[in-house]
Structure 1
Amino acid sequence: MSLDGTYDAGNIFAKILRGEMPAARVFEDEHVYAFMDVFPQSRGHTLVIPKHSTARNLLDEEPERLATLIQGVQRVTKAVRAALKPDGIVVTQFNGAPAGQTIYHLHFHIIPRWEGVPVGRHASGGMADAEELKALAAQIAAKIS
C-alpha cells in the first residue's frame, strides 16, 4: 500500500479501540492507547496509537494530535524502561508498505533491546502467548507515572 489512501475503519487497531478485538492494554488516556504487540520483536514490544484519529501514517496527522501522541509515547517508553530495565530502546514509526508499515493506523513501536540479544523480525516468532503479554502489560503499567 502506498503512502496515500483512504483510512480503513476496519483495521485491527480501530477494532481494538472500539473493543471489537482484544489487546493487552498497558496505558490509556483521552488521547492515546498503548498495548502489547502480539507479534513482538523483543520482550516488552509495545505499541502506542492515537485514540481519535483517522491518520494512516505520520504524514496524515494533525500537528496538535502528534504533540499529545508523542507525549504518550514518551510516557510509555519511560515505563517500559523502568519495568524491564533494557540496555536500549528503539522507538520507531513506519510510513507506507516499502517502509515496513502493515497496519494503516498511525502507530509507534517501543522495542526494548538488551546487549547481545538480537531483535526478531516482526511476526517471525509467531504470535506471543496472551497470558505472558498480559503479565508484561501489567508490569509496564505499574511503572506509568
Structure 2
Amino acid sequence: MSIFSKIISGELPAYKITEDEHYLAFLDINPNAKGHTLCIPKKEVDKIFDLDSDEYIGLMKFSRRVAKALEKAVPCKRVGMAVIGLEVPHAHVHLIPLNHMDEMRFEQKVKLQPEEFEKIVHDIREKLLL
C-alpha cells in the first residue's frame, strides 16, 4: 500500500484541499514552493499512463480545477504541472505555483509551519467555491 493510499484511507494525516469520489488534492509536505499541491486518483495505480482513458482524463480535469483555484489563492506567475512518479508508486500530478523556473527542479524545498499549510488549504478551498 502506497503512502498516498494511507492518506486516502485516513491512516496518515494530510493537508487535504478537496476530494471527490475518485480523486484527492492535498498539499505536498516537502514543497518546491508555497502551495505545491498533489492531485491523485484514489485508485492505487503506479504509473499515470496505466490509468484507463476515463481515469486519466478525470484526473486531468480534477487537477485543472484545483490549479485554477491555486493560481487565485497563491500569488504566482503561473501554475506549473509535473508528472514524475519515481518517488511514490502511485500516480500523481504536481501543481506548483511558479515565479521562477528553479521551483520546478525538485531540488530546493520550502519549509512551512503547520499554520502556513492550514492557511494555504483554507485559501485554496475558498477559491474552489467561486
Structure 1 length as normaliser, TM-score? 0.80
Name the structure 2 match of 1:98.
none
Structure 1: gaps spanning 5 or more residues: 1-8, 96-100
Equivalent in the alignment of 2:29: 38
Which of 104, 115, 120 is 1:131 aligned to?
115
Opposite residue 133 of structure 1, the aligned amino acid is: F
Q: Hey, what's the Cα distance between the residues in 2 that align with 1:137 and 1:26?
A: 5
SS in structure 1 opposite 2:25? strand
The structure having more radius of gyration, on CA atoms, is 1
2:57 is the counterpart of 1:67: yes
- AA aligned to 1:141 is R
Distance in 2, matches of 1:144 and 1:42, equals 20
Following superposition, the deviation at residue 128 of structure 1 comes to 3.5
C-alpha contact (below 8 Å) 1:40/1:123 kept by paired residues: no
**1:4 corresponds to which residue?**
none
1:79 to 54, 58, 69: 69
Q: Is residue 26–residue 36 contact of structure 1 (8 Å, CA) maintained in 2?
A: yes
Equivalent AA in structure 2 for residue 47 of structure 1: L
The answer to whether the 8 Å contact 1:32/1:50 transfers is yes
Per-residue deviation, residues 116-144 of structure 1 (Å, max 9, x unmatched): x8427547547642221111111111101
> Which residue number in structure 2 is paired with residue 3 of structure 1?
none
**Aligned residue number for residue 94 of structure 2:** 109
**Deviations 1:8-54 (Å, cap 9, x if unpaired)?**
x1x11010000000000111111210000000000110000011x22
Q: Hey, what's the Cα distance between the residues in 1 that align with 2:27 and 2:60?
A: 17
- Could you say what secondary structure the match of 1:143 adopts? helix
In the alignment of these two chains, the number of paired residues is 129
Query: Counting helix residues as a fraction of each chain, which structure ranks higher?
Result: 2
Q: Percent identity?
A: 31
Structure 2, unaligned runs of 5 or more: none
Secondary structure (helix, strand or coil) at the match of 2:32 reads coil
